């Protein structure tokens, strides 16, 4: 069995997984600076008579439908990958990605909002493949190296954030090139999805050495996973931390663009460059700081500080009145998020049996998808009242996640370790006698 694992690792370089994630998330990053201007700008998709509140509510629902379908399909894909293998399921989802981008571009071109919603639903299904990526990494990782390897996914996410939003902002700006439009970035994203299909077909090697033929496939896996996640005595508290952590971060990522447009008068190019800056900091954190931290600290030690730092980062964003000030205080968010995210995944993965990695990480994806589903709906209404409410809500959720981690996990674990240490000491002295 050890020989099989060695051969599998040699056939499955992490670089191939990294490149697959990068191309996938580059397409996601392209969309980031576009949705808000597309719906909020008077020259965008909606007619001039539509009010600001209606625009933000429509934006919220367009964001939410992505998370709804991700919630429904993430655990399903995780279980399918346990049963049929990582590569086969991942390969199939990329065709859905390709279709969704082409449909969104066409929906913008003919100014059909319904097609945008259908496209975003398909994007949510396709984006559920991140649970497969985490499962593939778990297959080839040791418990000690998981945080470091999961950090590579975060690094690919960061690189997608650097290049994707900048490309999306520039390619949609017709003041730079006359034939650029809001559709152009989605055509590029479709081409990238095609490249990814070819890459996975010929370069991605199967990581799962033993298929779980008994894995149950059910369309209601998302709801069942939530019940499992919060009834699991070992993982319940960590999943609650994940939920609150993601809940707060979603308020930031999905409505910060509205804040930028209304307070700082950003256009899509400005938003793209700012999120590119966030991406640089994420890459620095998850490609460097996470690796350093994983050699010296346990995941729970990193989380102790990073969750609290994230709350401070959201509050600091409320202070600047200039673009320079905004760029100065922003780094705390990607650095603290970049430290927390892979360590939460490592904590969950280390608590699950090896043959249930896909199911367990699918449970995590379900919790995250639910946490990403609710804020857009709330945010679409409250941001119309005042644009800084989403940042206050993000800070409050981060504080709650830290408190749950401290009192629900950290203290209990230290007490358990202390008891185990005393029992071990007593047992050792008994043997000596």
pLDDT per residue over 80-108, tens digit each? 888 888 889 999 999 999 999 999 999 99
The rounded mean pLDDT for the chain is: 85
pLDDT value of position 5 = 44
Band of pLDDT at residue 25, cut at 50, 70 and 90: confident
pLDDT value of position 424 = 57
Number of neighbouring beta carbons within 10 Å of residue 121: 19
134/116: higher pLDDT: 116
pLDDT value of position 406 = 93
Q: Percent of the chain scored above 90 by pLDDT?
A: 45
Which residues fall within 8 angstroms of residue 127, CB to CB, at 6 or more apart?
A: 28, 66, 70, 97
d(CA 195, CA 206): 19
pLDDT value of position 224 = 77
Q: Which three-class secondary structure state does DSSP give residue 12? A: coil
Residue 248 has pLDDT above 90, yes or no: yes
pLDDT value of position 326 = 97
363/401: higher pLDDT: 401
Give the mean pLDDT of 25-37.
86
Tokens (6 digits) for 120: 């975003």
234/327: higher pLDDT: 327
Give the mean pLDDT of 135-147.
78
Band of pLDDT at residue 358, cut at 50, 70 and 90: low
CA dihedral 7, 146, 122, 53 (to 10 degrees): -170
Give the mean pLDDT of 400-407.
94
Band of pLDDT at residue 2, cut at 50, 70 and 90: very low
Residue 425 has pLDDT above 60, yes or no: no
pLDDT value of position 291 = 85
Residue 361 has pLDDT above 60, yes or no: yes
Do residues 212 and 139 make contact, with C-beta atoms less than 8 angstroms apart?
no
pLDDT value of position 207 = 83
Nearest to 150 by CA among 15, 359, 343: 343
- Most confident range (mean pLDDT) of 10-14, 213-217, 388-392 is 388-392
Check if CATH label 3.30.70.100 holds for domain 2-43+51-207+220-432. Answer: no
Band of pLDDT at residue 77, cut at 50, 70 and 90: confident
Q: Percent of the chain scored above 70 by pLDDT?
A: 90
Band of pLDDT at residue 334, cut at 50, 70 and 90: very high
Residue 157 has pLDDT above 90, yes or no: no
Band of pLDDT at residue 6, cut at 50, 70 and 90: very low
Do residues 24 and 132 make contact, with C-beta atoms less than 8 angstroms apart?
no
d(CA 325, CA 323): 5
Band of pLDDT at residue 8, cut at 50, 70 and 90: very low
d(CA 334, CA 327): 12
Mind listing the pLDDT tens digit for each residue in 363-392? 787 788 889 999 999 999 999 999 999 999
Give the mean pLDDT of 62-77.
86
428/222: higher pLDDT: 222
Give the mean pLDDT of 12-17.
68
Give the mean pLDDT of 255-273.
94
CA dihedral 175, 178, 179, 184 (to 10 degrees): -10
pLDDT value of position 12 = 45
Do residues 303 and 344 make contact, with C-beta atoms less than 8 angstroms apart?
yes
The set of long-range contacts for 396-401, using a CB threshold of 8 Å and a minimum separation of 24, is 396/248, 397/244, 397/245, 397/247, 397/248, 397/251, 398/244, 398/245, 398/248, 398/249, 398/307, 398/308, 398/310, 398/311, 398/314, 399/308, 399/311, 400/244, 401/240, 401/241, 401/244, 401/245, 401/248, 401/307
Q: Which of 9-23, 296-310, 411-425 has the lowest mean pLDDT?
A: 411-425
Q: Which of 39-48, 329-338, 392-401 has the lowest mean pLDDT?
A: 39-48
């Amino acid at each position: 069995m050890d020989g099989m694992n060695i051969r599998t690792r040699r056939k499955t370089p992490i670089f191939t997984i990294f490149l697959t994630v990068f191309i996938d998330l580059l397409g996601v990053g392209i969309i980031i600076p576009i949705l808000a201007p597309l719906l909020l700008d008077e020259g965008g998709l909606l007619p001039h008579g539509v009010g600001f509140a209606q625009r933000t509510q429509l934006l919220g629902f367009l964001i939410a439908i992505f998370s709804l379908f991700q919630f429904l399909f993430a655990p399903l894909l995780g279980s399918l990958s346990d049963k049929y293998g990582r590569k086969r399921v991942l390969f199939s989802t990329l065709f859905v990605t390709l279709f969704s981008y082409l449909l969104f571009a066409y929906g913008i071109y003919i100014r059909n909002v319904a097609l945008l919603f259908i496209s975003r639903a398909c994007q949510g299904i396709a984006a559920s493949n991140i649970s497969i990526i985490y499962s593939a990494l778990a297959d080839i990782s040791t418990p000690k190296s998981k945080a470091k390897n999961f950090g590579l996914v975060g690094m690919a996410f960061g690189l997608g954030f650097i290049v994707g939003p900048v490309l999306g902002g520039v390619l949609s700006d017709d003041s730079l090139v006359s034939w650029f439009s809001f559709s152009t970035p989605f055509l590029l994203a479709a081409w990238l999805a095609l490249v990814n299909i070819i890459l996975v077909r010929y370069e991605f090697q199967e990581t799962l050495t033993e298929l779980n033929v008994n894995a149950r496939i059910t369309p209601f896996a998302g709801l069942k996973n939530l019940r499992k996640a919060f009834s699991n005595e070992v993982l319940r508290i960590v999943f609650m931390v994940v939920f609150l952590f993601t809940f707060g971060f979603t308020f930031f990522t999905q409505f910060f663009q509205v804040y930028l447009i209304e307070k700082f008068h950003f256009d899509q190019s400005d938003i793209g460059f700012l999120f590119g800056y966030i991406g640089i900091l994420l890459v620095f954190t998850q490609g460097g700081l996470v690796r350093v931290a994983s050699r010296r600290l346990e995941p729970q030690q990193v989380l102790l500080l990073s969750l609290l730092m994230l709350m401070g980062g959201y509050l600091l964003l409320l202070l600047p009145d200039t673009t320079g000030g905004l760029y100065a205080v922003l780094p705390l968010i990607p650095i603290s998020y970049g430290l927390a995210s892979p360590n939460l995944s490592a904590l969950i993965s280390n608590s699950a049996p090896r043959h249930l990695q896909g199911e367990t990480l699918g449970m995590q994806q379900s919790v995250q998808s639910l946490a990403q589903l609710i804020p857009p709906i709330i945010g679409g209404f409250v941001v119309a009242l005042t644009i800084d409410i989403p940042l206050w809500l993000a800070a409050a959720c981060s504080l709650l996640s830290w408190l749950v981690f401290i009192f629900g996990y950290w203290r209990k674990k230290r007490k358990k370790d202390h008891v185990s240490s005393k029992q071990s000491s007593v047992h050792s002295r008994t043997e000596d006698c």
